[in-house]
């Protein structure tokens, strides 16, 4: 079980899905790529095509909270095991992680090169013509993708902790002047 604080170098498949793809998957209840046990990465890459093959030039995460509404359904419909992004997800997602046994991991925001480096191969791409490269579903094979678990299946959230703490600090310094 992945716990908040676990620093992981993930090797395996990542499936990118952000605003448009998440909405489409939930609306149609269908996926062009099998997502059972998959890890979804909230990201939209910079890509180029070299010799007929796609190359990922930059692959940092996008703000996950925009996709908050989809977590529960994506896990329920497709059996997705976890999500990677930046900034964390909300209460409903946390409940879904408890219910289905999932996690959320944070990857470096703005880590375009660092994270693109972990990509060994672009396996496939879906919704490319319809959504464009930044919004498409990219299936990539990665090695040693660095991430830190910040939400786990026991309801722990580092984001909640930091936020609560920052609000307390704000009250303290705002009133102490």
Partner 1 sequence: MNEKIYLLIKKTTSKLPQDLLDLLQVALNRESGVARDTISQILKNSDLASARHLPLCQDTGVLHFYVKRPLHYTEAYIKKESATAMKRAFKEGLLRVGSYPEFHFEESAGKKLEIQLLMKGGGSENMSFQYSLPDTELTALRDDDGIIKVVLDALVKAQGFGCPPGIIGICIGGDRAMGHALSKKVLLRNLSDINQDARLATLEKKIVKMANQLGIGPMGLGGKTTLLAAKCIAYQTLPASFFVTISYMCHAYRKGRIVI
Site of interaction with partner 1 (CB under 8 A): 5, 7, 43-48, 55, 57-60, 62-63, 65, 86-88, 106, 108-114, 116-117, 132-134, 146, 148, 150, 158-159, 161-163, 165-167, 169-170, 173-174, 177
CA count, 13 A, side-chain hemisphere, 54 = 21
Nearer to partner 1, 120 or 162 (CB): 162
For residues 101 and 135, which CB has a smaller minimum distance to partner 1 in the complex?
A: 135
Bridge partners, 56 (sequence order): 47
Residues 6+ apart with CB under 8 A from 48: 54, 55, 57
Q: Is 1 helix (H, G, I), strand (E, B) or coil?
A: coil
Strand partners, 149: 105
Least spacing, CB of residue 166 vs partner 1, in Å: 5
* CB nearer partner 1, residue 117 or residue 124: 117
Contact 55, 47 (CB under 8 A): yes
CB nearer partner 1, residue 39 or residue 47: 47
Tally of CB atoms within 10 A around 82: 24
Q: Whole-number minimum distance, CB 163 to partner 1, in Å?
A: 6
Closest approach of partner 1 to the CB of residue 133, in Å: 5
Single out the residue of 116, 137, 114 nearest to residue 127, CA to CA: 137
11/48 with CB nearer partner 1: 48
User: Would you tell me the crossing angle of helices 71-78 and 19-28 to the nearest 10 degrees?
Assistant: 50
Considering the complex, what minimum distance in angstroms separates the CB of residue 153 from partner 1?
19
Closer CB to partner 1, residue 34 or residue 109? 109
> Distance of alpha carbon 3 from its chain centroid, rounded?
16
CB of 113 to partner 1, least distance (A): 4
The nearest distance, CB 79 to partner 1, in angstroms, is 28
- Through-space distance between the first and last CA atoms of the chain, rounded to whole angstroms: 45
């Amino acid at each position: 079980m992945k716990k908040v604080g676990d620093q992981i170098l993930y090797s395996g498949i990542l499936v990118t899905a952000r605003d448009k793809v998440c909405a489409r998957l939930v609306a149609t209840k269908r996926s062009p790529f099998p997502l059972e046990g998959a890890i979804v990465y909230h990201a939209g890459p910079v890509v180029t095509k070299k010799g007929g093959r796609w190359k990922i030039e930059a692959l940092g995460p996008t703000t996950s909270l925009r996709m908050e509404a989809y977590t529960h359904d994506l896990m329920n419909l497709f059996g997705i095991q976890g999500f990677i992004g930046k900034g964390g997800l909300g209460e409903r997602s946390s409940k879904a992680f408890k219910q289905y046994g999932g996690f959320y991991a944070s990857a470096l925001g703005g880590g375009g090169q660092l994270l693109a480096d972990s990509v060994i191969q672009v396996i496939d791409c879906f919704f490319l013509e319809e959504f464009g490269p930044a919004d498409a579903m990219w299936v990539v094979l990665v090695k040693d993708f660095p991430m830190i678990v910040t939400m786990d299946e026991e309801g722990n959230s580092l984001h909640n902790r930091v936020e609560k703490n920052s609000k307390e600090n704000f009250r303290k310094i705002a009133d102490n002047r």
